[in-house]
A = this chain, B = another copy of it.
Amino acid sequence: MEFSKRIMAMQESPIRKLVPFAQKAKADGKHVYHLNIGQPDIETPSSFMDAVKQFDEKVLAYTLSQGIPELIDAIMDYYKSYDLDFESDEILITNGGSEAIIFSIIAVADSGDEVLIPEPFYTNYNGFSSAVNVKVAPITCKAEDGFHLPDKKTIEESIKPRTKAIMLSNPGNPTGVVYSKEEVQMIAELAVEYDLFIIADEVYREFVYDGMSFISFGHIKSIQDRVIIVDSISKRYSACGARIGSIASKNKELIKQILKLCQVRLCVPTLEQIGATQLYKTPSAYLQKVNKEYAKRRDIVMNTLNEVSGVICKKPAGAFYVIAKLPVDDAEKFVMWLLKEFDHEGETLMLAPAEGFYSTYGLGKDEVRIAYILNSEELKRAMKILTIALESYPGKTQ
């Protein structure tokens, strides 16, 4: 009686593996600053619960597999404000961005096919792919380049006959990179030349700083039938627990195919869709305020990292993460040491070792992801503790 090879091949979450050590540290009385997860601390707009509370149907029934029309309309309006024009049969509501990603992969790739993904990447891209027997082919990006894409020729070398799609997160989790117009254009050209789909995870669309403008893959008319836009309300409206995501594509036939997957799982929860519909109507002032807050936090993180000798980290323009190369022998060991052996005035912090964000063996060993999801005061304190920790860590390399 054996489990499947595909499930055995799936990695345990590299972050969750460290959770018991954090729990132990807390049990021992240490305060732990969590910079290891992407759970925002910003308040969810109250319109979500206000709408949910008004639900008064006697039966909590199935809704349409595609999603409730009110939410689809709200998403269409939202996209219009970004000059992205989708019709109602070009959008599907999903159980979080997660389901949007796995459905997109199933729709474009068969068992044994490959999907090209810039690394370091959101760990779960790997998990979804393994679960459905699709191989991840990494495009390696480097801390020294601020995790921007390598040149076209380098990427072309990774494209094989069974490569079916390029999947990327822009603005990037875990790197914070925001691709330039030229990079987006290069990916678009590759998609046309090699007949690939583009699975564009743009859930951090609003999290772009320094007045930089965000280019969606949906903006490029020449590839619109190749682009699948994955979206989610989790980060935008600080509503991770609602698990509402979506797929949008101008390729109506693709949407029709993916709808079959939606039908198989019947529908997405009713109440969450009702709440999400109202979130999409949140005045833009909310998002502007959130953007300012994160930009400030990023600067706090970068100011500290810039002062520590041996750290390599180019200032990223988006999302709420940075990946920093640290002067340590091994980032996982460093994080374990932070939790088990170190404290500064009874406090320590938890970071995500970056090795799990790479599929190329050995990369990311001296890198960590820092999620700036604490308020400024706490974040300053956490970064100060990181500086002190780096000075006293026995495995420091500088």
Known: A12-B260, A53-B53, A98-B264. A43 touches B58 (CB 8 A): yes
Chain B minimum-CB-distance residue to A134: B4
Tell me which residues across on chain B come within 8 A of A44, comparing CB atoms: 58-60
Question: A98 to B61, alpha carbons, bound, how many Å?
Answer: 15
The interface centre, meaning the residue of A3, A226, A272 with most chain B CB atoms within 10 A of its CB, is: A3
Tell me which residues across on chain B come within 8 A of A158, comparing CB atoms: none
Question: A13 to B260, alpha carbons, bound, how many Å?
Answer: 7
Known: A263-B13, A264-B131, A266-B96. A108 touches B272 (CB 8 A): no
Known: A41-B59, A243-B268, A270-B242. A106 touches B6 (CB 8 A): yes
Q: When the two chains form the complex, which single residue of B11, B61, B107, B164 contacts A240, counting CB atoms closer than 8 Å?
A: B61
Question: A261 to B11, alpha carbons, bound, how many Å?
Answer: 10
Question: A272 to B96, alpha carbons, bound, how many Å?
Answer: 14
Query: Which of A109-117, A166-174, A307-315, A316-324 forms contacts with chain B?
Result: A109-117
* Copies of the chain in the assembly: 2
Question: Is A40 positioned at the interface, with any CB of B under 8 Å from its CB?
Answer: yes
How many residues of chain A are within 8 Å of chain B by beta carbon?
78
* Contact in complex: B241, A269 (CB < 8 Å): yes
Tell me which residues across on chain B come within 8 A of A348, comparing CB atoms: none
* Contact in complex: B128, A264 (CB < 8 Å): yes
Question: A6 to B37, alpha carbons, bound, how many Å?
Answer: 34
Q: List 15 A-B contacts (CB under 8 A).
A: A3-B107, A4-B113, A7-B107, A10-B264, A49-B55, A60-B242, A61-B241, A62-B240, A96-B265, A111-B112, A241-B269, A241-B270, A242-B270, A242-B271, A243-B269
